[in-house]
Structure 1
Amino acid sequence: MTKPFWNVLRLSPVVAATFFAANSALAVEANEQVITVDQLTAQSDNFGQVTSVSQFSDVQPTDWAFQALQSLVERYGCIAGYPNGTYRGNRALTRYEFAAGLNACLDRVNELIATATADLVTKQDLATLQRLQEEFSAELATLRGRVDSLEARTSDLEANQFSTTTKLTGEAIFNISDVFGSDQRAVPSGVDQATAPDLDTNTIFANRVRLRFNSSFTGKDNLEIRIQSRNIIPYGTSVTGTNMTRLAFDGNENNDALIDKVNYAFNLSDAVRVQVDAAGGLLYENNINTFNPDLQSSGKGSISRYGRFSPIYRQGEGGAGATLIFNPKGAFTASVAYLAGRANDPGNGSGLFDGSYAAFGQISFQPTQALNIGLTYARTYQNGGQINLFSSTGSVYANNPFQGAALTANHYGVEASFKPSPNITIGGWYGLSDAQAKSGAQQGDEADFNYWAATLAFRDFGKEGNVLGFIFGQPPKATDNDFIQANGVRREDDGTSYHLEGLYKLQLTDNIAVTPGLLVIFNPEHNDTNDTVYVGTLRTTFTF
């Protein structure tokens, strides 16, 4: 505008208020912030009525709007301040705040008119208002035209939108990686290294694509349907000889598009959230805290499968069932879940309650914003072809301790995260498990396992959105096992493997992130005779 618009405040507060009310589009132009009604209510609780402008510690007679503010306070009595005695005159004004302040002034003006205690509106005020309307007529016409155009565009978008209830989001990963450091694949304890096949060391270029359809019918519920396509062959036992080298985002369906996740979440009450998984149930994607916020994502977090979070959260992975989270808005949060591996199969040894399952419970305690601690327990049963105790993390002996026999297991975990500053997160986990064979000649044999890890993440390192991360730990290990194989080898790990990982996520744009990373496994398969294995990767993640 070519005229000193804000000088209207110098002329008359009533004129200014009336002028703003008649032409609220100017308020939109001057300030595009938006706040919610809840935020406005919360702010209004902090206001306090004042009777003199001198009560504001941050308002000086030299301020350009001092006279206007003084008039509104002392002549009309419709200006409120903050409890600490400030006015905060440089703070941006939202339309909600403008409406609340204008309403207060108009109520006061109506009160004064009714009691006829003051000469509120003079002929000079009316003349000034008329002159302002004439002087700003061109600007007002332009703004009205812009509003009309926005309304037309909004109507067009509403008429042609994808869905009134569904939002589509997506993620695409392009990955270049290779494994090196040894000529032969890793072997378990007690196996002759000379018999191991050669290590595959070809550089690969592969992808994973996910599309999510999130639908809400009440505004507080969510129906999720996820379609996935990928061709990333895992760096597992068939490639490196160990699952300790697996990437966080691997999996291979030859790029066939499959529906791999279907669930519905809703609020049972203000403090209880329920999620029902029909397929692809994952505890770590059911709003359960895994205590590794900066590194838990497979697309933008850790590059390794083990480095994302404790293996206890992988129990029941891919099953069907339900999760309930109780959060009473205090320091404690409780979560319980039940997932069945073959819930859709009516055959013997399957179904929702007669086959493989995981019953899960967790209590998290957050005494401050910086510290969060979790205590976790899971009871699992696995049978048939689903023997994979730690979901392909750790050694062969840990994942299949009784050589294919059905088993039950108890899993105990403690997790924690600590933020010494807003951009630094220190975390970690420790887990113990015990298992017992439930079928075959191994029935009754028992085994014990443990694992641990420490994590360190620097958020906004070098640039906003970047993350520098480090992970060090010991993948799941069979520390003791009663079962002895036919060749006389006890299925327990004699040595100790160490997992070391470093990554740096570069957030190039809001929708593109590039993450170079290096994974090092010392003594793979908890076998000191195996050479160190290195996995290098360059992951590019597109989100839309």
Structure 2
Amino acid sequence: MAQLLITKLVLNALRVSPIVLAAVFGTTNPAVAGEIDSTSQLSQEFSTGIGQVTSVSQFSDVEPTDWAFQALQSLVERYGCISGYPNSRYRGEDTLNRYEFAAGLNACLDRVNELIATTTADLVTKEDLATLQRLQEEFSAELATIRGRVASLEARTAELEANRFSTTTKLKGEAIFALSSAFGDGGADTDNDPTNNPKLEDNVAFSNRLRLKLLTSFNGTDRLETRLNTGNITKFGPSATGTSMTRLGFDSNDNNNVELDKFNYAFNMSDSIRIKLEATGASVADNVNVFNPLWSSGSSGAISRFGRFSPVYLPNSGGAGVTVNFNPKGNISFDAAYMVPGNNSSNPADGKGMFDGSNTSLAQLSFKPDRKLGIGLVYSRAYQSGDQVDLTGGVGSGFASKPFDDVATTSNNYGLQASFRATDKVIVSGWAGLTDAEAESGGVDKKGADADIFYWSANVGIKDIGGTGNVLGVIVGQSPKVNDNSIATREDNDTSFHLEGLYKMKISNSVVVTPGMVVIFNPEHSNENNTIYVGTVRTTLKF
């Protein structure tokens, strides 16, 4: 029984040591690892434990009927060195290996020595001391190994602390190198005259993008993000191909001038409410679930802009805004956001500012009945002044972007997104969206005009094809199209289709290479336009 008591004592002493064990031995307790998804979560869980207990009744998962209840109660009352997990849990069923046992035994010995040195009371019996001595002799080799490794870890930790960048800030970087080209029999045009199509800029281009992020936390749950961006990745848009349907999802062309493209602060208002304030670079798609887990990233997701996520998230992004995420315990969550374009938020002039110019209000209701299925319902209302109209955020046809030309426009936008994990390696995602637009100005010939814009996409990703971490993907869809417009001359008469194939190859944890091809049939929703192809090989490095 004494050995049993010491075993339980050791197990509880491990409450504060999983992270240290992970660093020393390259692993953590399997029972703990199965419940914790990341190192940050592990740290948070163990930092919020209930600490040393004074009564066994403080454990929510220990009952008087448990076979070891009396032993645990004795350890708590006599030695006072039992600690619990978060939520007042004891986890008495967890398993441990010899190294873990030895680490806990060492902690137990320290506690017993402390009791002996500080009190004359008969707290430690001769039988328990004899048991401890036998255990110490049995695990002497493991104890020596642990002490050596801990000493080495402490030295390495001290060196890291002495040379670390900041006590509150982490520096992360991302670099993209891309070899890209658009080609075909000609660029797209909207006048239905194939003899007048613009020339396709089809030379092969080698370009780059670099981003440095400073992530600062003041209390462990908040985050201040400062991101610097520079790049020269061309936008394969109207100037290169005659259409925005061919844009890359990672384009960023500021001629390699460094700019502050994101600055925001996120914090928890409560256990279920998180708020994010963005001064520049605001993007709803960065703050909510877009239900496209494999392809939403601009650096390692889809190679096209359209393939990343639904255009419902795009209007008036890039400036200032606020997002509130409400995630109660359960299968339903709610998000709300308010966005203003960048050249408005800091301008106090009439028709500008945070509330007197272009803006978007968005709400999303998400359902996740299980780990396989996710569904999102989105509604947004956007207003854009005449000089800022772009209803589809840089994807889709020219008519869909500006259904009434450069006229102030209000739009009601509806979206349905879904993602389904068919197997552990196959994920299917997609979305559909509808925009109801109305002209707010433009004189008697345009004011009050209305238009309907529709779009959809579906994709499939197969993981671990050709190697662990690799992903093969296919994306199909229809870019935003004006199905009906009271201004008949700005209505899309035909239908364009988007086809994208890509293969993401994981070279290492820091390097991913993604060759891919985008094919646009009937660009600008016109059968008169020739098919356009965009190929790229994107290499992403993260550090």
Residue 156 of structure 1 and its aligned partner are, at CA, apart by 2.8
Amino acid at match of 1:206: S
Which position in structure 1 is the counterpart of 2:182?
A: 179
Residue 316 of structure 1 and its aligned partner are, at CA, apart by 2.1
1:332 and 2:327 matched: no
1:33 and 2:50 matched: no
Which position in structure 2 is the counterpart of 1:472?
A: 476
Amino acid at match of 1:172: A
Distance 2:9 2:419 in 1: 54
Residue 147 of structure 1 and its aligned partner are, at CA, apart by 3.4
Q: Counterparts in 2 of 1:126-525, with a 5 A limit?
A: 144=147, 146-182=149-185, 184-188=186-190, 190-286=191-287, 288-341=288-341, 342-441=344-443, 442-483=446-487, 490-525=489-524
- Report the TM-score when normalising by structure 2: 0.80
Amino acid at match of 2:510: N
Distance change >3 Å, CA 45–CA 33, structure 1 → 2: farther
Residue 460 of structure 1 and its aligned partner are, at CA, apart by 2.5
Residue 437 of structure 1 and its aligned partner are, at CA, apart by 1.1
Distance change >3 Å, CA 354–CA 126, structure 1 → 2: closer
Are 2:184 and 2:200, in contact at CA under 8 Å, matched by a contact in 1? no
Residue 28 of structure 1 and its aligned partner are, at CA, apart by 8.9
Which position in structure 1 is the counterpart of 2:88?
A: none
Q: Which runs of 5+ in 2 are unaligned?
A: 33-41, 51-58, 69-91
Residue 422 of structure 1 and its aligned partner are, at CA, apart by 2.1
Amino acid at match of 2:150: V
Distance 2:313 2:419 in 1: 16
Aligned length: 486
Are 2:9 and 2:104, in contact at CA under 8 Å, matched by a contact in 1? no
Distance change >3 Å, CA 393–CA 92, structure 1 → 2: farther
Amino acid at match of 2:254: E
Distance 1:117 1:211 in 2: 60
Distance 1:26 1:543 in 2: 27
Residue 313 of structure 1 and its aligned partner are, at CA, apart by 1.1
Distance change >3 Å, CA 537–CA 89, structure 1 → 2: same
Amino acid at match of 1:508: I
Are 2:274 and 2:325, in contact at CA under 8 Å, matched by a contact in 1? yes
Root-mean-square deviation (CA), in Å? 3.9
CA distances 1:103-138 after superposition (whole Å, capped 9, x unpaired): 9x98xxx9xx9799996665xx688578779x85xx
Amino acid at match of 1:451: Y
Which position in structure 1 is the counterpart of 2:74?
A: none
Distance change >3 Å, CA 131–CA 150, structure 1 → 2: closer
Are 1:15 and 1:128, in contact at CA under 8 Å, matched by a contact in 2? no
Are 2:21 and 2:28, in contact at CA under 8 Å, matched by a contact in 1? no
Counterpart of 2:324 in 1: which secondary structure? Answer: strand
Are 1:512 and 1:541, in contact at CA under 8 Å, matched by a contact in 2? yes
Distance change >3 Å, CA 514–CA 129, structure 1 → 2: closer
Distance 1:100 1:140 in 2: 7
Residue 155 of structure 1 and its aligned partner are, at CA, apart by 2.0
Distance 1:143 1:206 in 2: 50
Amino acid at match of 2:289: N
- Report the TM-score when normalising by structure 1: 0.80
Distance 2:23 2:236 in 1: 55
Counterpart of 1:238 in 2: which secondary structure? Answer: helix
Are 1:26 and 1:143, in contact at CA under 8 Å, matched by a contact in 2? no
Distance 1:235 1:383 in 2: 25
CA distances 1:172-195 after superposition (whole Å, capped 9, x unpaired): 00000111122x21112x431211
Distance 2:270 2:513 in 1: 40
Distance 1:97 1:358 in 2: 56
Are 1:32 and 1:94, in contact at CA under 8 Å, matched by a contact in 2? no
Distance 1:201 1:310 in 2: 28
Which position in structure 2 is the counterpart of 1:528?
A: 527
Amino acid at match of 1:390: T
Counterpart of 1:152 in 2: which secondary structure? Answer: helix
CA distances 1:462-487 after superposition (whole Å, capped 9, x unpaired): 32221111111100001111225xxx
Distance 1:327 1:121 in 2: 51
Distance 1:429 1:116 in 2: 67
Residue 202 of structure 1 and its aligned partner are, at CA, apart by 0.3
CA distances 1:466-518 after superposition (whole Å, capped 9, x unpaired): 1111111100001111225xxxxx00100000001111100000000000101
Counterpart of 1:372 in 2: which secondary structure? Answer: strand
Distance 2:433 2:136 in 1: 76
Distance change >3 Å, CA 257–CA 99, structure 1 → 2: farther
Q: Which runs of 5+ in 1 are unaligned?
A: 1-10, 53-85, 485-489
Counterpart of 1:385 in 2: which secondary structure? Answer: helix
Counterpart of 2:387 in 1: which secondary structure? Answer: coil
Distance 2:369 2:22 in 1: 42
Residue 158 of structure 1 and its aligned partner are, at CA, apart by 1.4
Residue 350 of structure 1 and its aligned partner are, at CA, apart by 0.7
Are 1:284 and 1:313, in contact at CA under 8 Å, matched by a contact in 2? yes
CA distances 1:69-127 after superposition (whole Å, capped 9, x unpaired): xxxxxxxxxxxxxxxxx978676874799479969x98xxx9xx9799996665xx688
Distance 2:379 2:164 in 1: 45
Distance 1:119 1:244 in 2: 80
Distance change >3 Å, CA 114–CA 140, structure 1 → 2: closer
Are 1:381 and 1:406, in contact at CA under 8 Å, matched by a contact in 2? yes
Identity %: 44
Distance 1:416 1:197 in 2: 38
Amino acid at match of 1:171: E
Residue 150 of structure 1 and its aligned partner are, at CA, apart by 3.0
Name whichever of 352-361 and 315-324 sits farther off. 315-324
Amino acid at match of 2:325: I
Distance change >3 Å, CA 396–CA 160, structure 1 → 2: same
Distance 2:66 2:299 in 1: 54
Amino acid at match of 1:511: S
Amino acid at match of 2:496: S
Distance change >3 Å, CA 30–CA 383, structure 1 → 2: closer
Are 2:386 and 2:409, in contact at CA under 8 Å, matched by a contact in 1? no
Are 2:103 and 2:146, in contact at CA under 8 Å, matched by a contact in 1? no
Distance 1:421 1:186 in 2: 40
Residue 399 of structure 1 and its aligned partner are, at CA, apart by 0.3
Distance 1:27 1:401 in 2: 58
Residue 461 of structure 1 and its aligned partner are, at CA, apart by 2.5
Counterpart of 1:349 in 2: which secondary structure? Answer: coil
Distance 1:505 1:26 in 2: 34
